[in-house]
């Protein structure tokens, strides 16, 4: 199989990640639940992962990295924990449903006003429109760091400046970029970063969370077991416990820590992202001028602002048909359809056809890319 | 696939309300020895994402009976022309 669906999950994990999970499942107790050797070992694993994640995101306080099940859980918790009834939130058409749907719920249930900044013809965020929409009284600006459809990157440092100038907070969805694009919370002033462990961070599914800047008050999303203050009626508000009710996924976090270590060993997110960029650029160069192929995203105008994705369609063919042909004919795994990003597809005019998303990862090779180029060409010429 | 031409072939496409139901269909068909395979939902059938079961149109009665017996919920049935390379 040629695996080009790394934007969905990095199916091929470093051996160290697999080994770390297996070892953890045979040795760890419950982190923060007692002082047995296994419980303490689990606590140490979780702490090591917290520290690694803080280092990777430029979050000054490791205890402000809170682990949840995935990005969707983190985004729900962050949005719900930051936004009050009647608040105004500005977001973008680039967002995944993991941002759009929680905001729709907040609009329905808390009367939250939500405004959406658009994009240009290449799918790049319209920063001028975003700036116009972020007016005084805006509580939060929620943006993705990279579109999960086109791979186009967003200048989140600039978004943070725009948000702060209006007195708003800045939340970044780093689901598609964590581990592959550098991010520096302290340097940019970003208030909250939500991440998932199983994509660019190369960790197991079921891991993720959020990093929160000091002084930003995210209210608990759930209450329950905390391992401390058991006689208090409500869940503790101390970090990171406030957002970590219940048993942590220490087995998964052992793997996530190993994934981060693998990334750091190979030069960090910039080096990993550069490798994916080289592969995606090779793919784009091979397919962009094939008759009948339409490529979306910013590769033709600003490749330096593109991630490891090439999004395309073949004239006259449904994206699902192309994905099925790639899979059944060449063993190429990719993703067709709407990618849970309805506003992005509406903006690109691909609601009906969908898009064939080919997303590169660390373990892809030039030969795999060349085979994929040949396959796309054959389908288009067929 | 070298030299193969793309053609459109009438196919029965079954859609499901959930991914769980789609996977149950696959399991049910495998257990009963029924033909077919999972594909991404064609846009002609439903916009968006998800899985569909593709098989020959003449297999509908047998498949419909099997899924009913096994309690697999189905969203819709359609016969459309799907891409194949021959």
pLDDT in tens, A235-251: 999 999 999 999 999 99
Q: Is B59 left (phi over 0), alpha (psi -120 to 50) or beta?
A: alpha
Range B41-44 contact pairs with CB under 8 angstroms and sequence separation of 24 or more: B41/A320, B41/A337, B41/B13, B41/B15, B42/A318, B42/A320, B42/A321, B42/B13, B42/B80, B42/B82, B43/A318, B43/A319, B43/A320, B43/A337, B43/A352, B43/A353, B43/A354, B44/A318, B44/B78, B44/B80
Q: Is the pLDDT of residue A255 over 60?
A: yes
- The contacts of residue A91 (CB under 8 Å, 6+ apart) are A99, A100, A103, A114, A115, A116, A117, A141, A142, A143
Name the average pLDDT for chain A: 97
Q: Is the pLDDT of residue B71 over 80?
A: yes
- The contacts of residue A244 (CB under 8 Å, 6+ apart) are A66, A67, A68, A226
Name the average pLDDT for chain B: 92
Domain boundaries, chain B: 6-85
- The contacts of residue A374 (CB under 8 Å, 6+ apart) are none
CA B21 to chain centre: 12
Closest residue of chain A to B86, computed from CA coordinates: A382
The residue behind tokens 């594909």 is: B39
pLDDT band at B2; cut points 50, 70, 90 = low
Across A167-176, A207-216, B4-13, B40-49, least confident range: B40-49
Q: Is the pLDDT of residue B16 over 90?
A: yes
Percent of chain B having pLDDT more than 70? 97
Q: Quick check: A320 contacting B, CB < 8 Å?
A: yes
Report in angstroms the alpha-carbon separations of A16 from A13, A144, A214, A268: 8, 29, 32, 16
Fold assignment, B6-85:
Alpha-Beta Plaits (3.30.70)
pLDDT band at B86; cut points 50, 70, 90 = confident
3 state SS of A315? coil
Q: Is the pLDDT of residue B33 over 70?
A: yes
A378 vs B1, B82, B83: nearest CB: B1
Domains within chain A, CATH numbers bracketed: 2-10+268-381 (3.90.1150.10), 15-265 (3.40.640.10)
Q: What is the pLDDT of residues A260-313, one digit of tens each?
A: 999 999 999 999 999 999 999 999 999 999 999 999 999 999 999 999 999 999
- The contacts of residue A180 (CB under 8 Å, 6+ apart) are A200, A269, A272, A273, A276, A307, A308
Return the number of CB contacts < 8 Å for A and B.
58
What's the predicted TM-score (pTM) here?
Answer: 0.95
* Distance from the A337 Cα atom to the nearest Cα atom in chain B, whole angstroms: 5
Q: Quick check: A364 contacting B, CB < 8 Å?
A: no
- Give the model's pLDDT for residue A374: 98
Q: Quick check: A336 contacting B, CB < 8 Å?
A: yes
CA separation for the pair A181, B29 (Å, rounded): 43
Tokens for A203, please give them. Answer: 């960790």
The answer to whether B83 and A325 have CB atoms below 8 angstroms apart is yes
Closest CA to A118 of A87, A147, A98, A97: A147
CA separation for the pair A257, B1 (Å, rounded): 42
Contacts of B50 in chain A (CB under 8 A): 337
Report in angstroms the alpha-carbon separations of A301 from A123, A152, A199, A297, A308: 11, 11, 26, 9, 16
B40 vs A320, A351, A378: nearest CB: A320
Task: State phi, psi for B13 to the nearest 5 degrees.
Answer: -120, 125
Does A382 contact B85 at a Cβ distance shorter than 8 Å? Answer: yes
Q: What is the pLDDT of residues A362-382, one digit of tens each?
A: 999 999 999 999 999 999 998
Q: Quick check: A41 contacting B, CB < 8 Å?
A: no
Q: What counts of helices (H) and strands (E) characterise chain A?
A: 12, 12
* Distance from the B47 Cα atom to the nearest Cα atom in chain A, whole angstroms: 6
Q: Is the pLDDT of residue A201 over 70?
A: yes
Does B40 contact A336 at a Cβ distance shorter than 8 Å? Answer: yes
pLDDT band at B1; cut points 50, 70, 90 = low
Percent of chain A having pLDDT more than 90? 99
- Interface confidence, given as ipTM, is 0.85
The answer to whether B57 and B79 have CB atoms below 8 angstroms apart is yes
Tokens for A323, please give them. Answer: 């994905």
């Amino acid at each position: 199989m040629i695996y080009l669906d790394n934007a969905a999950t990095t199916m091929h994990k470093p051996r160290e990640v697999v080994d770390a999970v297996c070892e953890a499942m045979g040795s760890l107790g419950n982190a923060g639940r007692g002082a047995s050797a296994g419980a303490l070992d689990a606590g140490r694993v979780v702490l090591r992962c917290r520290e690694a994640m803080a280092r990777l995101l430029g979050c000054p306080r490791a205890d402000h990295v809170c682990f949840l099940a995935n990005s969707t859980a983190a985004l729900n918790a962050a949005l719900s924990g930051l936004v009050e009834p009647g608040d105004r939130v500005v977001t973008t058409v680039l967002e995944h449903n993991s941002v759009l749907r929680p905001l729709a719920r907040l609009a329905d249930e808390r009367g939250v006003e939500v405004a959406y900044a658009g994009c240009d013809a290449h799918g790049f965020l319209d920063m001028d429109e975003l700036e116009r929409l972020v007016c005084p009284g805006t509580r939060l600006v929620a943006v993705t760091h990279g579109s999960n459809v086109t791979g186009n990157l967003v200048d989140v440092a600039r978004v943070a400046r725009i948000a702060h100038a209006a007195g708003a907070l800045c939340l970044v969805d780093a689901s598609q970029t964590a581990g592959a694009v550098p991010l520096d919370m302290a340097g940019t002033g970003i208030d909250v970063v939500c991440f998932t462990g199983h994509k660019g961070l190369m960790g197991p599914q079921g891991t993720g969370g959020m990093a929160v800047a000091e002084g930003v008050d995210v209210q608990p999303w759930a209450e329950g077991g905390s391992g401390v203050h058991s006689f208090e009626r409500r869940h503790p508000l101390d970090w990171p416990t406030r957002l970590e009710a219940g048993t942590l996924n220490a087995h998964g976090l052992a793997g996530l820590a190993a994934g981060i270590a693998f990334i750091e060993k190979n030069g960090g997110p910039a080096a990993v992202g550069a490798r994916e960029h080289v592969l995606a650029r090779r793919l784009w160069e091979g397919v962009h001028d094939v008759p009948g192929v339409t490529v979306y995203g910013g590769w033709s105008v600003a490749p330096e602002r593109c991630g490891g994705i090439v999004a395309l369609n073949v004239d006259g063919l449904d994206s699902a048909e192309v994905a099925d042909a790639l899979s059944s004919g060449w063993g190429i795994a990719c993703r067709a359809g709407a990618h849970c990003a309805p506003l992005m597809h509406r903006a690109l005019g691909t609601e009906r056809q969908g898009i064939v998303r080919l997303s590169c990862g660390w373990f892809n090779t030039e030969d795999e890319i060349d085979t994929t180029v040949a396959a796309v060409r054959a389908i288009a010429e067929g | 696939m070298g030299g193969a031409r793309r053609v459109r072939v009438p196919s029965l496409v079954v859609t499901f309300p959930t991914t769980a139901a789609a996977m149950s269909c696959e399991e049910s068909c495998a257990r009963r020895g029924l033909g077919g395979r999972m594909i991404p939902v064609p846009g002609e059938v439903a916009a968006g994402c998800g899985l569909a079961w593709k098989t020959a149109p003449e297999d509908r009665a047998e498949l419909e009976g099997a899924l009913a017996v096994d309690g697999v919920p189905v969203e819709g049935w359609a016969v459309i022309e799907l891409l194949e390379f021959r």
